[in-house]
Chain A
Amino acid sequence: MKRSSRLGITYAGPMGLWLTIFFLTPLFIIILYSVLKKGLYGGVEWTFSSAAYRQLVNPAFAKVLFRTLTVSVTATAITMALALPCGYAMARSSHQSLFLGLVIVPFWTNSLIRIYAWIAILSSRGFANELLKQLHIIEESLSLIYNQGAVITVLVYMYIPFAILPLFTTIDSFDFQLLEAARDLGASRFTSITRVLLPNIRSGIITSGVFTFIPIFGAYTVPLLVGGKDSYMIGNIIVDQVTKTRNWPLASAISLIITLVSTVGVMWMLMAGAQEKRERAQSLRKAGTR
């Protein structure tokens, strides 16, 4: 008893220090800055002000917030729709490590370089347009870049590994005989997936959704580099507020919105995970007393 409580402190100590330095302190600074008066050349003046929050209530900002939400939800939905079959195929494959490797390989390259690669693919004289022309599918270049479609495409590409990995892990521990049982009882291939597989990998779906949605919601390089004038997302506004308009309190207030959305997502994920753990613990207890 004594020993374990002392051990607890030993383990919790560094963790607490880590959290304080890298998470709580910055968060505190952001909250603090958001309620201070903006400095003339950036930074803040040490006077209380709710100006930042009043500036948030503004149709232009609401428009960007709404756009950010739409883009994030769409990109996350597409990512998940692609990641699910991928994760499933990987879990059922006999070459799991090969596929895991392939999913991780993109991380070896800097993300900016990968975005520039997409510019090379999508631009008006880029790879995609030239290929389509060579195949005589189109005559004139399509405008594939600097629009919402390009932003979503590249976001999906950037964050799909974050969706695939948790899905793969959950599906890998799923008992595939349940799918046979469902088929046996009259379910089609599709129904067996929707009625049996999906409900049983719920926590994996939530985790991968949250892991994808949060970074997409705060994205700023992708809309900046492949988006058009109307592709601005919250992340871009924050950067502008910090670097151009030099309104640090407003940047802080907007950041807090992202933090809030992320927190809600993570809480949801943790709650789903905790419920599943409770159910599993219950079953283990039962099995033990049998």
Chain B
Amino acid sequence: MKNVSRSYGTFKALDDVSIEIRKGEFFSLLGPSGCGKTTLLRSIAGFDTPDEGVIELDGRNIIPYPPEKRLVNTVFQSYALFPHLNVFENIAFPLRLKKEKESSVRDKVAQYLKLVQLSGHEHKKPAMLSGGQKQRVAIARALINEPSVLLLDEPLSALDAKLRQSLLVELDQIHDKIGITFIYVTHDQSEALSVSDRIAVMNEGKVLQTGTPYEIYESPATDFVARFIGETNLFPATVVSCVPFEQTHMSTLQVDALGSVIRVTDDDYLEAGTHVSFTVRPEKLKITSHPPLTVSKDINLFSGIVDEPIYSGFQSKYYVALACGTIIKVIQQHATYMDEGPAINWKDSVFVSWSAEDGYIVEVIDR
């Protein structure tokens, strides 16, 4: 997909989008509602024509072809099962169009019913199925043509949370089994992170970053990506100095929000005075009641008061008000048994620290 743009009036739904998706990949398009994901997917399927750019499939531009001529099939968010046909005929629909032999239709439908674990429901009308079952029929129906690419537009968003998890895992298993390319649209970052090979993060019609889930989580390319994926502490900062440190560079940043300087390692050399965004993920912070015993040069240490502890079983999240007034988020995993409850409570004085290697410079803001 190269330089694809699509405008509705003066509004740019897609703005110069270029993405390369590899064969067999589980690729996710991730972004908030209204960022253009559906528009992009519809352009690939052939229901929408971009104003500019090309969309290539196996090296051939597919934009001139109508939807029925593209080796791409879609799983619609609202399932779009044919209400007048039963499960069997819904799945057999593409084969019937190709006038395939009855025996081969029967075999293939049985095979795909088994793949989505719906054997035995052949004769039910879509109206008699649960949401999860409808979604499975839609998946089987989209796969039976053996497309090169399967497009999924928020296929799980109409289901409840539990079902969503298990169907997601199942979807991943189906992907592993049949090995075709999946392009999966979602606004749910945890869905995207958990199953994708690679993710493109979109906002306002633009692709902000394309990469593996950990690249996107650990090295977000922009403020938006850092904030959209997972939780984070994000501060504007100014480079005070930058010196080589082992294989990388150790920068000292002035962070006004923290009222002090911090240290962070980064691959690139940064000129003193450069404005940057600095981020550190809450789970990388350590929270302790006492100051750490060893204080080395590459540890950033702040003291504060617990403003809001949120206990959620396997972990606790603390909002800590630092001395300068800024609130910083810390997540602590409960790796050991603790029937006394967490050691850190509301209004406790605590120390928050992190290593220079755990922070990350997101974006250089040239001004």
Contact = CB atoms under 8 A, between A and B. Distances in A.
A279 B125 CA distance: 9
A187 interface: yes
Contacts of B80: 175, 177-178, 180-181
A186 B68 contact: yes
Given A177-B76, A188-B68, 4 more contacts: A180-B76, A187-B68, A282-B128, A286-B127
Interface in B94-143: 94, 97-98, 125-131, 141-142
A50 interface: no
B93 A200 contact: no
B237 interface: no
A178 to B, nearest CB: 6
A242 B72 CA distance: 68
B73 interface: yes
B145 interface: yes
B84 interface: yes
A-side binding surface: helix, strand, loop or mixed? helix
Contacts, number: 79
Instruction: Pick the 5 closest A-B CB pairs, nearest first.
Output: A283-B127, A181-B80, A183-B67, A185-B94, A199-B84
30 contacts: A175-B78, A178-B80, A178-B82, A180-B47, A180-B67, A181-B74, A182-B93, A183-B46, A183-B67, A184-B45, A184-B67, A184-B73, A185-B68, A185-B73, A185-B93, A185-B94, A185-B97, A185-B141, A186-B97, A186-B98, A186-B145, A188-B68, A191-B97, A196-B84, A200-B82, A200-B84, A280-B127, A282-B125, A286-B130, A290-B131
Given A177-B80, A181-B82, A188-B68, A283 B128 contact: yes
Interface residues of A, number: 25
Interface in A259-289: 279-280, 282-283, 286-287
Interface string B44-65: 0111000000000000000000
Nearest to B160: A290
A131 to B, nearest CB: 39
Contacts of A200: 82-84
B160 to A, nearest CB: 10
